[in-house]
Amino acid sequence: MSKLIHTFDRAVKAVSVTAAALGCIAILLIAIGVTTNSVFRYAFNMPLLFVDEYAQYLLVAAFYLGVGYTFRAGRHVYVSLIIDRLGVALARPLKIVIFLASVITIGLMAYYSWTAFWSTAKAGIVSITPMETPLAYPFFAVAIGMSIFTLEVLVALLKELFGLEHKTFTA
């Protein structure tokens, strides 16, 4: 069973790292877009009207694509006041309950994110801006990110259930 969990862990890690890299690219695109818009606005008096809208979508993508990686790296907000004071015998069951509740909660959020994506895509809903951007794109980033986050918490739950070591990483 531990070999299966380690294989699953490596696969989730690869997806998580890839998504985080895409989130970093989104941040880079925001920086390039805002800088270019500033130059066009002040040097040529021609602002690029799409930059603000797309910067917002890219910010959403960067956040959600990086949320799973952030959890894996141990960088999420984690209140360990109680758990740190408990012994291993009490801390482990509490962590299992917390991870299980988290998998269910975040899994539901992922499910509803996918529902929102599919309904938005099916309805062809677009932004009310002149660009008329299909809003399915930002919803897609949210759904992907929440799904990866769910998988990361599931990995943590499985490792805790089977007594496997939790290792965070920096890539």
The more confidently predicted of residues 68 and 166 is 68
Q: Quickly list DSSP for 123-153.
A: HT-B-SSTT--BTHHHHHHHHHHHHHHHHHH
State residue 112 phi and psi, 5-degree precision: -70, -25
Does the pLDDT value for residue 65 go beyond 60? yes
- Binned at pLDDT 50, 70 and 90, residue 75 comes out as confident
Q: State the average pLDDT over residues 24-32.
A: 98
